[in-house]
Amino acid sequence: MSDFLERTRSRPEHEKRTLAIITAGIITGIIFLIWISVQFAGGVGGQEASPKEAQDKYAPTTVVKEGVSGLFEDVKVKINDFSQ
């Protein structure tokens, strides 16, 4: 791996840019394919949710809000455990 990095560092600037763009495209494609597979995989536990329910449940703002609230709850529990 370090040999690959050394060879990449010694390449001309335009080749490094091209490699960076190709790598970013591949990573973006993989993320897109994962996203598509999750979107069309159906409901959890074999139960299909209506599109509106799925949209509300898995909306980015809802997911972030639930994640942040869960984080704060975990921090509160840790602080209470530490103070006792």
Say which residue, 27 or 68, is predicted with more confidence: 27
Q: What is the pLDDT of residues 3-18, one digit of tens each?
A: 888 888 899 999 999 9
Q: Where are the alpha helices (DSSP H) in the chain?
A: 2-9, 13-39, 51-57, 60-83
Return d(Cα 25, Cα 28) in angstroms, integer. Answer: 5
With a CB cutoff of 8 Å and minimum separation 6, the contacts of 48 are 42
What predicted TM-score, i.e. pTM, was given to this entire model?
0.45
Length of the chain: 84
pLDDT digits (tens, 9 = 90+) for 16-59: 999 999 999 999 999 998 888 877 765 455 556 567 776 667 77
